[in-house]
Structure 1
Amino acid sequence: MRAWFDGCGDRRQWHVAAAVLPLAAAVLLTSCSTVPIEGVPRAGDEPAWVYGADTPQDLRDLADEVMTTFTSAFPSRRECLGAVGLVGARELDDRARYDPGAQEVTIRIPATAPQLRVSLVHELAHHLEFSCPSHVEIREELSAAQGLSSGDWSEGPTWIETPSEQWATAVVHYVLEEDDPRAPIVVPDETLRIIQTWAEG
């Protein structure tokens, strides 16, 4: 069923539409604002989310599922994955963003569960870029596999031509075995091979 939060603060209520849709595609989540996280994410911790104090429970449940799936896909990178902050925001220019200084993901809600799943995996991929020192060793190879220049990893003529963004989009394909419908990037088998080799280390 289609559902969403209405209102702010502690007095949120659920409203359910009459149409019945698949749950995975129908859950919509909202948050009043970005709020402080409950702890301090640290590299070296067990892979886990550190949630914003007002993060809805259904977003937490979905994020926990994503973290389990992501960690299973990168078994040799558990130690550098560590704890990652997660907060929801009603207003955000992008679908999601990662702050490497705070080791924190901010995700825009409301969104459907499939959209949130893709965004969370995409931002966790960015987290690995900063938290795993060995990631720099595969960047040139990844850029070559994607047909990109071996210049600045985080810069490109356009968003879609930025190596870092192509990496994160390729990780979505690798982890979820599906493409991000809003990021039309071709992911060759060679790119997936490089990711798997590094992930399994």
Structure 2
Amino acid sequence: MKKIKEIVFQKKNVFIAILFLSFFPVRALFYNGIYYFFDLILNSGVVSNIYSFNYMGNLMGCLEIQQVQEALGAGANMYYSIVFNFLFLVSFLSGLILIKRIKSSNDFSLINWFLLMLFSFSLFDALEFFIMSLPSIIEFGGLFKVTARWVALIEFSIILLMAIYLFYIIFYKSVKVRILLIVLPTSFISFVVWYSYLGPHLLPVKIL
């Protein structure tokens, strides 16, 4: 118990708390930025003229999807696929770099916490997929019909397995304590505040 108190009451924990209090706002801005960047590179801004970037960090709206399909044709699916796989790659590489840094050093630095945050972007998506989306997809027999769902299942499984490996095998006890006592509570607060109040006011969803 004494060691746990020593771990919790350290100055670096203030940085960790602030970092993960900003988790969902930063995630939304990062995702919006990636959608916008690849839209400029691949589509000359066509998607950005149709969608409103929002606090969810996703492109939303049935009419918007239809307009993008009409404007880009087959290029629409390529655009969505590139963005999805890029976001997975960012988190996957962050996880690999984090594992390498931990194995080469006894100190879990502030950079490592930032890498953990980047990795957790896709970890949140993976948990959302397995808890919310996958059961309904299987129930209606849609898992085998769309290749993108298989890709999502594989990539999110990789992220989830990597998270389990990090927590149970790689992380030190002090890191696990901080995750349980600081990261999870502040991330939950970030989720509630961002999705229930700040997000809808700052980046509202505008659907046609």
Structure with bigger RCO (C-alpha 8 Å, 6+ apart): 2
TM class by shorter chain equals under 0.3
Higher helix residue share = 2
Write 1 or 2 for the structure with the bigger share of strand: 1
Structure showing greater radius of gyration is 2
